[in-house]
Amino acid sequence: MKPFSCIIFDIDGTLSQTNELIFATFNHVAEKYLGRTYTPPEIIAMFGPPEEIAVERLVGKEKFDEAIADFYDYYEKHYPRLADKYQGIDAVLEYLKECGVRLAVFTGKGARTTRITLEKLGISAYFDLVVTGTDVVAHKPSAEGIRKVLTAFGTPKEEALMVGDAVADVKAAREAGIRVAAVLWDSYGKDKILGMDVDYRFHSVEEFSRWIMKTIPKKPALQKDGGQVRPTDGGQVRV
């Protein structure tokens, strides 16, 4: 198999522990505008299109502008209390960047909540491209977002990997013809994914990190010495 030159990450349940925040935000809007709340499975069933579409379906077009403003406001204000990145994710992303791997995000989230999430997590700078649910016509499990990444980077299918926690991530990767790593450390679709045909499964960030470092070895930095180019001892470039 060819080595990976591009890795595409989902966000919720993969990079960030945001499920509780998403459930709370949807129910904040539902209670205010509909006088009811939804169970986590009922909210999960709304996933696929970005929040803008889901909220409009809930409250209708007339209340949409006010409701989506409330959604964004609650999501951003309560992020520090209800969400965080998974421990060890920073180290994985940093390592991949040092290895020269192109990194992208493909998420079903809308553009605004994606921006809020990546900024709050402090990981925006790691990604060369972000494709959100706002940026595609066909939402997950369609592979449109993956194809956008491959085209933008000029990456062959055999050099790309999708990393996600949901059934939709697996289906999108399969449609795109790329390998997929199912991460199960906080997956709401864990039972279904365990029964799917995936290339790799990981139950913790630590397990995933060990595999990444074994699969994608860091390239030694080079230094010039008397006209000869050789690896440095400290891993830094010296001239």
Q: Are 170 and 182 in contact (CB under 8 A)?
A: yes
Query: Can you spell out the DSSP letters for 113-180?
Result: HHHHHHHHHT-GGG-SEEE-GGG-SSPTTSSHHHHHHHHHHT--GGGEEEEESSHHHHHHHHHHT-EE
3-state secondary structure of 187: coil
Backbone angles phi, psi at 209, to 5 degrees: -60, -45
Catalytic positions, please? 10
What is the spatial distance between Cα 13 and Cα 185, in angstroms, rounded to a whole number? 8
Measured distance CA(184)–CA(193) in Å, rounded:
8
- How many whole angstroms separate alpha carbon 102 and alpha carbon 112? 23
Q: How many CA atoms lie within 13 A of 132 on its CB side?
A: 14
CB 110 within 8 A of CB 132: yes
SS3 88: coil
